C-alpha cells in the first residue's frame, strides 16, 4: 500500500496569513491531515537576494517567478521594508492549524538567516536561534515543540547535537528515502530524522520544460509501495499561486488510493522498524540552488 505524509513548511508572513487558511480549507475538503511547521521570527525574505551568486539560483528564479509566488511586499521584507515578526502577526492562524486537527511543529526563527548563513554561525549563535524559536512556539501554542524541520533541508553537526537538548521526538533536516538516526562526530544521535523523500513542486516546475500538471504527475509517479513517502509543500507555493496544481495532486492521491498519515501518527511504526544509524552528507539536487543535507552511509556506532 502507498502511504504519504504531507509536510507543510511555513516560511513567511504571507504564507502564514494567506497560505495557512487556504491550505486548511483545501485539506478539509479532502479530509486530509498534515504536519505543519512554522517560521516564527523576523521575515527577512528580501535578504534572500544574497543567493544571487549561488549555483542554480538565477535559473530557479526564472523558472518559478518568485514575484508570482511570494509577492512584491514579501520580497522587500528585511531590505526596503522592515522585517515583521511572524508569530506576533499570525499566531491565531497557526493555532487554527492545530484546532483543525493537524500536527504542528517548529520550522525556524529567522528562516533566511539560517538558510544562508548556517555554516558561518557559531554554536552559541545557533543555540540562541533555537532558544528564540522554541520560546516563540511556546508563546503561540502554550507548550514547547515536539518536532522540528530545518529550513531548506540544511543541518550541520552543531544543529544535530543541539536538537538533542530540545526534547524532540523527531526532526526533518534531510532529503533521503528512509528514517535514520544521524551520526555526529562518531556518535549516534537520539532524535530520529524523517527525511523528505519526494521532489517539491517548485523544484520540478520548468525543469526540462515541465508545466505544473506534468510536475504533479511526476511526483505521484515516484510514490513507493510500503515505504516512507514524504512530500514537502509550502504555504507560499501550494497555498498560493500553485494551489490549483496542489488540488490536482490531492485528487491524484485519492484516485490512487494513497493513505495519508501525519509524521506524528506514523512515528511509532517508523521507530518500531529499527531505523539504522547513518552519516549525513551534502549534495546538490536538481531544481534547487545550493546543497541540501542527505542521508549517507549506514554505520555501526555507539548511542549517545
Separation of alpha carbons 100 and 287, rounded Å: 33
Separation of alpha carbons 10 and 19, rounded Å: 8
What are the pLDDT digits (tens) for 202-222?
Answer: 999 978 889 999 999 999 999
What are the pLDDT digits (tens) for 222-260?
Answer: 999 999 999 999 999 999 999 999 999 999 999 999 999
* Predicted local confidence at residue 185, as pLDDT: 95
What are the pLDDT digits (tens) for 114-146?
Answer: 999 999 999 999 999 999 999 999 999 999 999
Separation of alpha carbons 214 and 216, rounded Å: 5
In this prediction the pTM is 0.91
What are the pLDDT digits (tens) for 162-173?
Answer: 999 999 999 999
Contact by Cβ (8 Å): 29, 3: no
Separation of alpha carbons 117 and 136, rounded Å: 21
Separation of alpha carbons 135 and 138, rounded Å: 5
**Strand pairing of 35-39 and 3-10?**
parallel
Lowest mean pLDDT among 6-10, 20-24, 52-56, 173-177: 52-56
What are the pLDDT digits (tens) for 87-99?
Answer: 999 999 999 999 9
Residue given cell 512554522 in the structure block: 38
Confidence of residue 262 (pLDDT cuts 50, 70, 90): very high
Instruction: Work out how many domains the chain is built from and give that number.
Output: 1
Which residue range(s) make up the domain with 41? 3-303
| E strand segments, 140-290 | 147-149, 170-172, 181-184, 187-188, 192-193, 230-234, 259-260, 277-284
Phi, psi for residue 137 in degrees, rounded to 5? -60, -40
* CATH label of the domain that carries residue 139: 3.20.20.370
Nearest 10 degrees: Cα torsion 242, 28, 197, 144: 110
Amino acid at each position: 500500500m502507498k502511504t504519504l505524509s504531507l509536510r507543510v513548511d511555513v516560511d513567511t508572513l504571507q504564507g502564514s496569513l494567506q497560505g495557512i487558511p487556504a491550505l486548511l480549507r483545501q485539506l478539509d475538503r479532502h479530509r486530509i491531515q498534515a504536519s505543519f511547521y512554522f517560521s516564527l521570527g523576523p521575515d527577512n525574505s528580501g535578504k534572500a537576494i544574497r543567493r544571487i551568486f549561488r549555483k542554480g539560483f538565477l535559473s530557479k528564479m526564472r523558472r518559478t517567478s518568485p514575484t508570482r509566488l511570494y509577492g512584491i511586499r514579501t520580497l522587500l521584507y528585511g531590505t526596503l521594508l522592515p522585517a515583521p515578526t511572524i508569530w506576533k502577526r499570525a499566531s491565531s492562524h497557526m493555532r487554527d492549524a492545530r484546532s483543525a486537527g493537524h500536527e504542528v511543529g517548529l520550522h525556524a526563527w529567522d528562516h533566511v538567516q539560517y538558510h544562508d548563513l548556517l555554516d558561518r554561525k557559531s554554536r552559541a549563535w545557533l543555540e540562541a536561534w533555537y532558544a528564540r524559536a522554541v520560546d516563540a512556539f511556546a508563546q503561540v501554542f502554550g507548550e514547547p515543540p515536539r518536532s522540528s524541520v530545518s529550513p531548506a533541508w540544511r543541518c550541520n553537526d552543531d544543529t544535530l547535537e543541539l536538537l538533542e537538548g530540545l526534547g524532540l521526538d523527531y526532526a526533518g533536516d534531510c532529503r533521503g528515502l528512509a528514517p535514520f538516526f544521524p551520526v555526529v562526530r562518531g556518535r549516534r544521535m537520539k532524535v530520529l530524522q524523517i527525511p523528505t523523500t519526494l521532489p517539491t513542486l517548485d523544484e520540478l516546475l520548468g525543469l526540462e520544460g515541465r508545466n505544473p500538471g506534468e510536475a504533479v504527475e511526476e511526483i505521484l509517479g515516484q510514490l513507493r509501495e510500503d515505504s516512507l513517502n514524504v512530500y514537502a509543500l509550502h504555504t507560499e507555493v501550494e497555498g498560493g499561486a500553485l494551489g490549483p496544481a496542489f488540488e490536482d495532486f490531492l485528487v491524484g492521491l485519492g484516485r490512487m488510493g494513497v493513505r495519508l498519515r501525519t509524521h506524528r501518527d506514523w512515528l511509532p511504526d517508523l521507530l518500531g522498524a529499527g531505523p539504522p544509524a547513518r552519516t549525513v552528507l551534502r549534495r546538490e539536487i536538481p531544481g534547487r540552488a545550493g546543497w541540501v543535507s542527505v542521508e549517507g552511509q549506514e554505520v555501526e556506532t555507539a548511542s549517545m
